[in-house]
Amino acid sequence: MGERGQDSKKVCIGAGVGAIFVALCCFTPVLVAILGLVGLSTLTPYLDYVLLPAFVVLVIAAVMAYRKWKQAMIPYKTRS
């Protein structure tokens, strides 16, 4: 696996972890509780405007990086 495969693997793992983090903050009250503890609970109505697009972008990035990583793992002789 070359350098391209390693970079794709890192992006895939990072985007996957980011998507899981955003999903936890979006679909559970984790972020609302944290914002309430810090005193920024007035921002909670605007979380959907940030978290849902971030979740979509991170899932797309994870899928694209996974595909690139799998493509880099195929030996050069079998590629068309």
pLDDT tens digits, 51-80: 888 888 888 888 888 888 888 777 655 555
pLDDT per residue as tens digits for the range 13-53: 888 888 888 887 777 788 888 888 999 888 888 888 888 88
- pLDDT confidence tier of residue 5, bands split at 50, 70 and 90: low
* CA 69 to chain CA centroid, nearest Å: 15
pLDDT attached to residue 2: 53
pTM: 0.67
Torsion angle of alpha carbons 75, 61, 13, 30, nearest 10°? -160
CB 25 within 8 A of CB 51: yes
* CA 40 to chain CA centroid, nearest Å: 25
pLDDT attached to residue 80: 56
